Structure 1
Amino acid sequence: MDDQIEKIVAQYSTASSVIRELHDVPPYRVYEVELDTQRAVVKVDDHRRGHAADEGRVHEYVATETTASVPEVIAVGSDHYITVCRDEIVREATQIDPGWAHAAGVWMATLHGDTAGAFDGFGQPRNDGTSLSLAAHDTWTDAVIERSRHHRQYLATKGYADVADAVEAFFRDHPCVFDGVGEPVLCHGDIHPEHLSRTSEGGCIAIDFEHALVAPAAYDYWRTVMPYFEASDAVDETVTRAFQDGYESVRPLPNGFEERRPLYRLLNWVAFLESLYLQQNVDPDKREEIGDWMQTRAYETLSEVRETVD
């Protein structure tokens, strides 16, 4: 892989070097490099599920078209992208506490506010070779069905196709459950301290748009609250309150976002099930047990949402 990185960085400088590997988590690898005299970070595909070029275009869009703070983008290639290396990002991640949560809520709401009205539908943002594009769906439900099918492709190889099929079938049979959900905005999709760091000026700077979607604002909200606040024994309700207060200090959350929490939880279980196997952050001996537990939670959530609409 070092040879591949050396070839990549050589395209963008007359004198380049690989300093160190920062992360090796499928489907990507991330390296700190030097381009001439500038420190930079390269994220490159390392699995067929990788889409660094798409992510790079999203990051570039945020850097140039919004006021949400991110490192500047140097280049986007067919299987990689490069950003300026920022010390706030490289240092050890901070803990989730009310101060971080409030700042994170402000950052997220800034991203949403700056991109409201910029997209004419919902879906996965893509690299079109020179800029960001979107094969938009008219409704969020249609975009959700597409995401379920996307996750199914991978989950079928791990024995979990049935749960993805069940979630897709629910949304296909209940196309109106997201009526009135709000306008499409650009969503980061994975806000936590490793991806969003506080700066010395009291703000935040973010990286890692791997899970970015053009979606309702509540999608981003619950993608943060569910896995990093609600599921953590070390986090209490003051953190969630601080996050919501930070968000609402910039813009209001959409009507009905709380009532739709089970619907977003359903989406998240399927996505997190893929991440469990793809990113390999859990001991292989425990992976199947945790995967089965997550599948059970997904079916339980599916039963809950069916009760509210049937």
Structure 2
Amino acid sequence: MPNLIAHHPPIELARIAFSQLTDEPVLRIARLRKGWGHMSWTVRAPSGRYLIKTGIRRPHLADLYRQVAAQQHAAIHLATPQVIAISDHGGALQRPAYIQCWLEGKDGEVTLPRLSTDGVHRFGRALGTTVAALHRIPGPRFAEDAAGTVTYPSWAAACHARLTRVVTANEKASVLPTDVLHTVTDRIAELIDHLPGDITPRLTHRDLYLPNTLQLTGHENVGLLDWESAAYYDPVWDHVKLGMWVFDKHPQLQAPFMDGYTADSPLPNGFDERLTTYQGIEYLAGFPYFGAAWPDQTMLDGFRTLLTGWMDQHHLPGGRP
């Protein structure tokens, strides 16, 4: 994680922003040093503890409203911080920001190494139960975000639109060989056309990995954090990152997670076929992201390995990334 201290606006501006938005004095305020998508401050006020957040990668007002819409929708059904105030560019911070309640706990990445074998099982099952609750939240229409900024008449249309954006980004970045891009794209397009027709939109987090999970203090429930990528998608999409960043790294979590996830209903029809389709799209998306937008050679090499394995699984001819 980058050191964000040098990039934070002065802490006094955050103090003023909180009081302007809540009509409460600040008893104590501190910057969070750890972060990737947001700059944040923790605040202690007479009524409790809060967090001020403002975007880094997605800093615009429209981005803020998309995050807040998803977070408030999710908060009705599962443990996630409720948003209590929103500021546009006119506030003391001079950038969009919002304030949310503070949930006491530690993220899964910190918690997991400290757990016993039985504790790991309980954490994994609780996480599966939480994600299942998320995936039961219906959306009115397939959409790129919970605010409905861009929507689609069908799931196939949403997938083709996503694939087109990913291909365009790859062509611009010129990181992935053109022949590989075309071979993979053609196969994904075929898979999209064979997706089941009965998929319905559900709230999907789209960034599920352990730092975005929260082991709540005082009980074993697991909450979810950071809704900047949330959308109304096929919820199977969430299993792509779960596989990449959770189960591949911590295989002991997979079985208890799936126990919790399927406790009330089984996996949907065509789960494996749906998952491999979305894996192909997400693996392609890693190349312009980590090869050009946010260069990271280690991450890029990881996506080369993932895409190579995907191509081998589908017996695709030609070169590899």
Letter in 2 for 1:147: R
Pick from 245, 253, 265 the counterpart of residue 239 of structure 1: 253
1:29 matched to 2:39? yes
What is the match of residue 139 of structure 1?
A: 154
Residues 232-271 of structure 1 mapped to structure 2, 5 A cutoff: 232=249, 235-236=250-251, 238-271=252-285
Letter in 2 for 1:226: M
1:182 counterpart SS class: coil
Let me know the Cα RMSD of the aligned residues: 3.3
In 2, Cα distance between equivalents of 1:107 and 1:303: 33
Change in CA separation of 1:274 and 1:11 when aligned onto 2, cut-off 3 Å: farther
What is the match of residue 70 of structure 2?
A: 58
Report if aligned partners of 2:109, 2:210 keep a CA contact under 8 Å in 1. Answer: no
Larger radius of gyration: 2
Change in CA separation of 1:47 and 1:110 when aligned onto 2, cut-off 3 Å: closer
1:140-196 alpha-carbon deviations (Å, 9 max, x no partner):
232233334555676666543757776655545654132346221101122233222
Change in CA separation of 1:229 and 1:6 when aligned onto 2, cut-off 3 Å: same
What is the match of residue 98 of structure 1?
A: 121
In 1, Cα distance between equivalents of 2:240 and 2:259: 15
1:2-37 alpha-carbon deviations (Å, 9 max, x no partner):
335345324313423632224332x42222124555
| Residue 248 of structure 1: how far off its partner (Å) | 0.7
Pick from 193, 196, 209 the counterpart of residue 176 of structure 1: 193
| Residue 217 of structure 1: how far off its partner (Å) | 2.1
1:108 matched to 2:117? no
Structure 1, unpaired ranges of 5+: 127-131
In 1, Cα distance between equivalents of 2:129 and 2:68: 23
| Residue 227 of structure 1: how far off its partner (Å) | 2.4
1:240-299 alpha-carbon deviations (Å, 9 max, x no partner):
12111101113222111123332122122134446646896xxx7xx3364155246325
1:94 counterpart SS class: helix
What is the match of residue 97 of structure 2?
A: 80
Pick from 46, 62, 65 the counterpart of residue 56 of structure 2: 46
Report if aligned partners of 2:132, 2:261 keep a CA contact under 8 Å in 1. Answer: yes
In 2, Cα distance between equivalents of 1:150 and 1:5: 36
| Residue 77 of structure 1: how far off its partner (Å) | 3.5
Letter in 2 for 1:179: P
Change in CA separation of 1:305 and 1:261 when aligned onto 2, cut-off 3 Å: farther
1:194 counterpart SS class: helix
In 1, Cα distance between equivalents of 2:15 and 2:163: 37
What is the match of residue 29 of structure 2?
A: 18
What TM-score, normalized by structure 2, do the two folds share? 0.74
Instruction: Name whichever of 10-19 and 221-230 sits farther off.
Output: 10-19
What is the match of residue 298 of structure 1?
A: 307
Letter in 2 for 1:254: P
1:70 matched to 2:80? yes
Report if aligned partners of 1:188, 1:209 keep a CA contact under 8 Å in 2. Answer: yes
Letter in 1 for 2:310: T
1:288 matched to 2:305? no
What is the match of residue 205 of structure 2?
A: 188
Letter in 2 for 1:61: H
| Residue 215 of structure 1: how far off its partner (Å) | 1.2
What is the match of residue 129 of structure 1?
A: none
In 2, Cα distance between equivalents of 1:197 and 1:270: 29
Instruction: Name whichever of 168-177 and 193-202 sits farther off.
Output: 168-177
What is the match of residue 9 of structure 2?
A: 2
In 2, Cα distance between equivalents of 1:278 and 1:56: 28
What is the match of residue 120 of structure 1?
A: 140
Percent identity between matched residues is 19
Report if aligned partners of 1:31, 1:42 keep a CA contact under 8 Å in 2. Answer: yes
